[in-house]
A and B are shown apart, each in its own frame.
Chain A
Amino acid sequence: GAVVSQHPSWVICKSGTSVKIECRSLDFQATTMFWYRQFPKQSLMLMATSNEGSKATYEQGVEKDKFLINHASLTLSTLTVTSAHPEDSSFYICSASPPQGADTQYFGPGTRLTVL
C-alpha cells in the first residue's frame, strides 16, 4: 500500500529557532501533499496544501511566513516552522494521495514538536 513517512518523529527546540519537518511519499509520486496540525485532545486542522513546483495554498488564519512549505520534488514536501514559540508546540501531520488511488489520502505518522 501507499506509505508516507515523516522525519523527525519528534523534535525539541528552543524558542526563536526554526525547525524543518520532512514528509515523503515512499512508493508513489505526489503532486499534492497536505499539512495538518493537531493540538492535544483536538481534531486535525488543515494548515496548507503543498503543490509540487508551485506555491503552497494556506488555509485562512495560517501565517505563510511562519510556516514555510517547500515541495521541491514529487516525493518530498517540507514544512519549516520559523522563529518557533511555545504556542507552536503541536503534532504536525502530512498526507498525500497516490495517482492510482487519488480518492484516498494516506497520512504520515506525525511529528511531535515541543518548543521550550
Chain B
Amino acid sequence: DAKTTQPPSMDCAEGRAANLPCNHSTISGNEYVYWYRQIHSQGPQYIIHGLKNNETNEMASLIITEDRKSSTLILPHATLRDTAVYYCIVRSYGGATNKLIFGTGTLLAVQP
C-alpha cells in the first residue's frame, strides 16, 4: 500500500473549518484514500473515504486533487470534541480482508 505524509500537528479555533492535508504521491489507480480519527484512549473512528471525486458526509468533506497525489480532509465547523489524531490511509478497495496500515497521523487541537 502507498505511504502517506501528514503534518504532525495542527491547531484550529473552535467553530472554524479545520483543513487537514495529506500527501500520497505514490498512490496507485486502485487505491482509495481513507480518513480515520482516534480520540485519546479510544479505538479509531471511520470518517470518510474516496477514490478521485470529492466526497461529503455528515462528519466531513474529502477533497482529492486531480492527480490524486494529495488530499484534504475538511471539518467544516470544528468543535472541542474534534480534538484527536487524524489518520490518512491509502488502501486497495475491495473486501473485508484488506488491512489498514496506519502512519503517524496529525494531532488536531481545537482551541476554545
Contacts and interface: CB of A to CB of B under 8 A. Distances in A.
Given A43-B87, A109-B42, A103 B99 contact: no
B49 interface: yes
Interface in B23-46: 32, 36, 38, 41-46
Given A91-B41, A103-B94, A43 B46 contact: no
Nearest to B107: A41
Contact of B97 (A32, A104, A107): A32
B43 A109 contact: yes
Interface residues of A, number: 29
A103 to B, nearest CB: 6
Nearest to A45: B102
A107 B87 CA distance: 14
A44 interface: yes
Contact of A43 (B41, B49, B96, B105): B105
Nearest to B45: A107
Given A43-B87, A43-B102, A99 B96 contact: yes
Contacts of A91: 41
A44 B105 CA distance: 10
B96 A32 contact: yes
B101 interface: yes
Given A93-B43, A109-B42, A46 B100 contact: yes
Contacts of A106: 46
A74 to B, nearest CB: 11
Interface of A: 4, 6, 30-32, 34, 36, 43-46, 49, 91, 93, 95-99, 102-110, 112
Interface of B: 32, 36, 38, 41-46, 49, 87, 93-105
The 7 closest A-B pairs by CB, nearest first: A107-B43, A97-B96, A102-B96, A44-B102, A43-B102, A107-B44, A32-B97
